Amino acid sequence: MKRYVLFLLSLVFVFTTSCKKDDEDGIKDGVPSCVREEIINLKLGYLCENGANVKEYQFQENMVYVFNPGDCISDVAYKVLDTECNTLGYLGGIGGVWDIDGVDFDEAEFKRIIWED
């Protein structure tokens, strides 16, 4: 019986320590460090009360990150960065632009939300 209890306790320990959790700042694991810094800057800068998020997409065979400061601004433009934090363009805004380098962003494949407020 003692071995059975020890076995169960070791299983619980393995499962609880192996689960991936978000970092303390709420940013998902596997995000490039420069994107992480951009998210922290977004949080420190102008941010709407609700609806702010950063989403990861695969676009033109690359991972890109779309920064949404929230829903308190009409006609807000969402900044799009690559994994090295190069600005690829802006989506939305007053002009209603929904393409990056002439390619419609609807072709992007959503991967995950990497941060939300």
Q: Are 56 and 39 in contact (CB under 8 A)?
A: no
What is the per-residue pLDDT across 94-113, written as a single tens digit (0 to 9) for each? 888 999 999 999 999 999 99
**Residue 77: CA count within 13 A, CB half-sphere:** 16
pLDDT tens-digit series, residues 23-81: 557 899 999 999 999 999 988 887 788 889 999 999 999 999 999 998 887 788 999 99
- pLDDT recorded at residue 24: 59
29: amino acid identity, one letter = D
3-state DSSP call for residue 34?
helix
> Which pLDDT belongs to residue 104?
97
Give the pLDDT confidence score for residue 14 in this predicted structure. 45
